Amino acid sequence: MKLYVMRHGPAEDVSATGRDADRALTSSGRDRVRNVAKALEDAGESPRLIFTSPLARALQTAEIVAAVTNADVLTRAELGTSAAPLPLLRQALSERKKRVMIVGHEPDLSALVAHLVGRGPEQGMLKALVVGVALHFEDEAAGSLFARLRFVLDPKTLELAPDART
């Protein structure tokens, strides 16, 4: 499976309701996410299925990526804050999904990437950053995973490159 781990785009500091879950992407955040999605599309790295946190900023990020890449979006409660996405990834692998994106939050995404490939991105999970990971079962019966870092897409430069420490 090609896995794309993406942090939500830049969001407002405080929502109109005052609830963290309602913080929306800023105008420049929407533009940044759209540019990242186009860079993925141009590089032939489009997700086909996006699992997203239900928090507004992540859901909006996923919807923008889906609009650019023609991916399906599924909102998953377990991707909110304090996320535990490994069971979801194992399920997607079992179902033979090929190009899956997870959109969520920090510090959960850094922890996920570090768990999968042994370390997080050198610059950290910037807002709208995408980490590309090759993921497959090492032993499907045991559910053990093998992952390899493929690339990091920096949202500021839109460069799709191996992590500097690779």
The answer to whether residues 136 and 144 touch, using CB atoms and an 8 Å cutoff, is: no
| Element counts in the chain: helices (H) and strands (E) | 4, 7
String of DSSP letters for 50-111? EEE-SSHHHHHHHHHHHHHHT-EEEE-GGGSSS---HHHHHHHHHTT--EEEEEE-TTHHHH
Percentages helix, strand, coil for the chain, rounded to the nearest 5? 35, 25, 40
Model pLDDT for residues 18-69, shown as the tens digit of each residue: 999 999 999 999 999 999 999 999 999 999 999 999 999 999 999 999 999 9
* Contact by Cβ (8 Å): 46, 12: no
Q: What six digits make up the tokens of 111?
A: 């922890």
- Whether residue 166 lies inside any domain: the answer is no
Q: Is residue 55 part of a domain?
A: yes
**pLDDT grade, residue 151 (50/70/90)?**
very high
Nearest-angstrom CA–CA distance, 57 and 113: 20
Q: Is residue 107 part of a domain?
A: yes
* Angle between helical axes of 27-42 and 56-69 (0-180°, round to 10): 40
Q: Which of 17-21, 36-40, 87-91, 142-146 has the lowest mean pLDDT?
A: 142-146
Closest listed residue to residue 134, CA positions, set 95, 85, 100, 91: 100
Omega cis (within 30) before 54: no
What CATH number does the domain containing 116 carry? Answer: 3.40.50.1240
Question: Does 72 fall in a domain?
Answer: yes
The whole-chain average pLDDT of the chain stands at 93
Residue 108 lies in a domain: yes
The reply to whether 104 falls in a domain is yes
Can you tell me the distance from the alpha carbon of 133 to that of 32, in angstroms, rounded to the nearest whole number? 21
Domain membership flag for residue 113? yes
Count the domains in the chain.
Answer: 1
Q: Determine phi and psi for 80, rounding to 5 degrees.
A: -65, -165
Domain encompassing residue 16? 2-161
14 occurs within a structural domain: yes
* Consecutive H or E run containing 148: strand 144-153
- Over range 2-8, report the average pLDDT: 98
